[in-house]
Amino acid sequence: MVSSDIKTSDALVDETLALEEGLNRPLRYVQLNSFYNGSTGSIMRSLHVQLSSQGVDSYCFWGRRHDTIDDHMACCATNPEVYLHGVMTRLRDRMGFYSKRDTARLLERLDEIDPDVVHLHNIHGYYVNIEMLFSWLSRHRCQVRWTLHDCWAFTGHCAHFTYVKCAQWMTHCAYSEDCPQPNAYPKTICKTNCRRNFEDKKRVFTSVPPERMTLICPSQWLADLVRKSFLKGYPVEVRHNTIDNSVFKPTPSDFRERHGIGDRFMILGVSSPWTERKGLGDFVRLAAELDSDRYAVVLVGLSEKQIKSLPEGIIGLTRTDSPQELAGIYTTADAFFNPTVEDNYPTVNLEAEACGTPVITYDTGGCRETIVDPRSHVVEGYAQAVELLKGKGNHAAS
């Protein structure tokens, strides 16, 4: 049975603590994610802090981008295996079926911990062998929670398919036609293993009994997709991602002065990384249509290469590692524009609104579910967004 109840991370902690009843020891809780940092890493670490503060014996393991901290927060992958996994995926399109040595060491550690709950986040990312992991999960007594941050779990290749309007995942990837996006993450030159991946992932991911595995989706949009996939036999909970409102709040900043924006109407975009699917092309188009004497377009999260190639009219910045600095940028903007055409539940919309800045976002994925501020708008496409932005700018100037 699939539930459509929308819950919060606090409810997840409460439900976890309820599992301790009858135990004569602290509950043992393990999380696994591709990265220590980034949006999914932040979600993992935040839950770890909450659980630890409540007396739960909490562990976090990740594959990349941060060294081991202690025996409760550790990197579970090695660079040679990650690189080999990435190269073999590029050649054979079999992400998730390498990293056997690293996974064997991880499973030995899990045997030592003997967890009551294993919470999976992103298990793609060139760092863990999904066959070995799920074989262990299917044999162990633990409860499994799996937060799906994208669609990779139920496709033969991609993490997102909205952009190319592909629906093969509902029946069998690459059964009637080839995968339309082998050049999308995880990029590959192989065009023959998408069907095999779909079959193997279906076999592997449905090996855990439904009474022991719950799927968690950050948006109702993603939960509805899961209902149509081969994972539809598992219970699904919708838990919207949250942000730190002690950080993301109206924050004074001298950003306008430092970048020469003055009293121009400032339109902000934030992403990392910036791609066409995130709407970079729409920002370039927008800047060309606006009067630079009256409007300022600012993009945060660009690469150095992207900044060098920006046209006049766009102020480009690399990613900031300071949430407080980002909150100041959000606050000083007049409007936040999110032209993403492929997204699950973008927390940048939440951050902008929390800092007092209205959002204009495309009606993509779970974007509509992020909007609370009555001044914000969900639009169907570029033309409607430009009309609204120009209207807001004219109103501000009058």
What are the sequence ranges of the domains in the chain? Answer: 6-239, 255-397
393/237: higher pLDDT? 237
Per-residue tokens: 307 = 């900044």
The pLDDT, as a whole number, for residue 13 is 82
Amino acid at site 262: G
CB 323 within 8 A of CB 37: no
Burial class, 174, CB count within 10 angstroms (exposed 0-12 / middle 13-18 / buried 19+):
buried
Fold of the 255-397 domain:
Rossmann fold (3.40.50)
- CA distances, 122 to each of 130, 225, 258, 283 (Å): 11, 17, 38, 29
On the question of pLDDT at 8 being above 80, the answer is no
Kindly report, residue by residue over 166-202, the tens digit of the pLDDT. Answer: 999 999 999 989 999 999 999 999 999 999 999 999 9
Site of tokens 């992103």: 122
Question: Fold match between 6-239 and 255-397?
Answer: yes
Mean pLDDT of 291-309: 96
Mean pLDDT of 47-60: 96
* Sign of CA pseudo-dihedral 388, 392, 397, 398: positive
Which CATH architecture fits 6-239? 3-Layer(aba) Sandwich (3.40)
Q: Taking the model in full, what pTM does it have?
A: 0.90
On the question of pLDDT at 299 being above 90, the answer is yes
- CA distances, 56 to each of 28, 42, 45, 157 (Å): 6, 19, 14, 36
238/38: higher pLDDT? 238
> What are the backbone dihedrals phi and psi of residue 152, each rounded to the nearest 5 degrees, phi first?
-55, -35
Site of tokens 């995942």: 169
7/381: higher pLDDT? 381
- CA distances, 183 to each of 158, 187, 291 (Å): 9, 5, 36
Mean pLDDT of 282-286: 96
The pLDDT, as a whole number, for residue 272 is 84
> In which band, very low, low, confident or very high, does the pLDDT at 6 lie, cut at 50, 70 and 90?
low
| Residue 25, beta-bridge partner list | none
Percent of residues, the chain, with pLDDT higher than 90: 87
Strands (E), the chain: 6-7, 28-35, 57-64, 73-75, 117-120, 143-147, 213-217, 236-239, 265-270, 295-300, 314-317, 335-338, 359-362, 377-379
On the question of pLDDT at 1 being above 60, the answer is no
Q: How far apart are CA 7 and CA 106, in angstroms?
A: 31
Q: How far apart are CA 197 and CA 178, in angstroms?
A: 13
Q: Which of 29-43, 158-172, 314-328, 382-396 bottoms out in mean pLDDT, i.e. has the lowest?
A: 382-396
